[in-house]
Amino acid sequence: MKPSPNILFVFFDNLGYGELGVYGGGVVRGAPTPRIDALAAEGMRLTNMNMEAQCTPSRSAVMTGRAPIRSGTTRIPLPGQPSGLVAWERTIAELLSEAGYATAHFGKWHLGHDPARQPNAKGFDEWWGLLETHDSSLWSTAPGYDPSIVPPERLFEGEAGSPSRPVGDYDVEARRFFDAECFSRAEDFMARSVAASQPFFCYLPIAFPHFPALPHPDFAGVTGNGDFADAFVEADTRIGSLLDRLDTLGIADDTVVIITSDNGAEDVLPWRGWSGPWGGSYFTAMEGSLRVPFLVRWPGRVEAGAVSNEICHAVDLFSTMAALGGVPVPDDRPIDGIDLVPFLTGARETSGRESILCYVADRLHAIKWRNWKLHRIWQRYMLDPPVELSIPRAFNLYEDPRERHDIFLPDNTWLQRPTMAAVAAFNATLVDHPPIPPGTPDPYRPAPS
C-alpha cells in the first residue's frame, strides 16, 4: 500500500475569485501570476468552491469539517469573551498528527486566543504567526491610538506541549515581512520532515491579500502598479519557490498541493480586490463572498488541466484531507464535509454535493442548490443592512452570475421545495446535536442525546 501523501495547504486571506491569471486576472490586474497559473495546468481547477462569509467561520469549517453554526464560530470573535473552537472540537491537524504526520501552522489562526485553543494545542507540532487578524497591524499608525490602553497584537510561536511565546509586536513593518516568514518556515519544516522520513501536513494561512496588502521590501515597486499588485507578485513568487522546494526534496509526486482562499475579495480601499463575474462583497451570502479560487495538484492522481464546476464547500476539505491521510473522521458528532478524493481523482464524476446553506454570522441568508440561489435575507455588500424578505429572491447563477435579476415570481416558486428540504434536513441534525453557543468556555461537553 502506498504511503499517505504529504499535504501542503496554502490558504489565502480574502483572495477574490477573479484575481489569479488562470481565473481571468493576473495581467488584467497588473499583477501576473505565472507560477500559480502553471500549477493550475498541472492539476485541477474548481470553479464552484464555496467558503463562509468571514474568515473565522471558514477556518473553523476547514479545520473541523463542521458548519460553523455547530461550533459557535459563526463570526469574527469579539473581545472580552472566549473565542474560537472549544477544546472538544477535533481539527484535521489532530487527526493527522495522531496518524503519524508532522504538522505545522505558519500564518493567521483566528480560532481562539486561550492556550487550550491555540494551534499547538489543536494538533500542530509547531506554529508561528498571529492569533487574531491583520487589521491590528494598522493600529500603530492610527491617530489617537494609545498602546497603554490597547496593547498591540503580538506574533507568537510555539510547540505542542508547551505554551506559545510572544516574539514581537505586529505592526505595519511586521506586516510587510509576515508572508516571507511563513514561506521560509514552511520550506524548513518540509525539509526537516523529509529528513525524518515523516509525512507532513503544512498549513499556510498567509496574510495576502488581507488589508493592509503590503509587499516585502524586495518586491516593492516591481510592477509599477502599486502595493496591491506588488504583493501579488510576491505571493506568486513565494509559492513558486515552495513548489521548487518540493522538487529539490524529491517529493513533488508524493505531495498534494491545495491553494484556495478563506472567502471572497478584499473590499477595503486602497486594497480592493476583484470577484471576477460574481457580485457582492464578503460578509454576505453573495457569490462574490462565497465563491473562491481552488487549485489542487497531485501528480499521477489528479488529472492535469482538469476543470470542474461541481459544488464544493470548505467543510469538504476536512473530510478530504482526512481521507488523504488514511484516517477516519469522528463519528461522535455531525461532520458536514464530503470526501472529495474520489471526485478529484476521477473515480467519481460528481462532488457528491448539490446544496450549500449560506449563513452570515448566525443567520441563514441564502441556500444554493445546483445552479440556483434562493435568498431569504438580502444583503449585497458588507456595509449594507441585511433585509428580511417576505418573498424570497431567486437567481439562476448560469444566467445571472451577479445576482441582479430576481426571477422567483412567477415561474420559479418551485425552488422552495429542494432548498427548504436541504434546510429541514440540516435543522433536524441541530435538534439531536444542539449548536455550541458563541463564547462557550472550556471545558465543554455536549449534552447526552
Q: Would you please indicate which residues are annotated as catalytic (active-site) residues? A: 55, 110
Cell numbers linked to 422: 436541504
Q: Which residues contact 73 (CB under 8 A, 6 or more apart)?
A: 56, 57, 60, 84, 85, 111, 438
Q: Which amino acid is at 223?
A: T
β-sheet bridge partners, residue 128: 106, 157
Inter-residue contact 101 to 199 (CB < 8 Å)? yes
Q: Is the link from the previous residue into 212 a cis peptide, with omega within 30 of 0?
A: yes
Q: Which amino acid is at 296?
A: V
Helix boundaries (H) for 196-313: 227-248, 287-290
Cell numbers linked to 211: 488589508
Inter-residue contact 390 to 406 (CB < 8 Å)? no
Cell numbers linked to 136: 491590528
Of the candidates 229, 188, 207, the one whose C-alpha atom is nearest the C-alpha of residue 10 is: 207
Of the candidates 90, 177, 190, 95, the one whose C-alpha atom is nearest the C-alpha of residue 130 is: 177
**What is residue 361's three-state secondary structure?**
coil
Of the candidates 374, 366, 393, the one whose C-alpha atom is nearest the C-alpha of residue 290 is: 366
Residue 405 Cα to chain centre, angstroms: 29
**C-alpha distances out from residue 271 to 159, 211, 225, 281, 289, Å:** 34, 6, 12, 13, 16
Burial class (CB in 10 A: 0-12, 13-18, 19+), 363: middle
Given the DSSP bridges, would you call strands 44-50 and 312-313 parallel, antiparallel or unpaired? Answer: parallel
Inter-residue contact 392 to 378 (CB < 8 Å)? no
DSSP assignment letter at 386: P
Distance CA 204, CA 194 (A): 18
Given the DSSP bridges, would you call strands 126-130 and 102-108 parallel, antiparallel or unpaired? Answer: parallel
**What is residue 82's three-state secondary structure?**
coil
Cell numbers linked to 325: 491521510
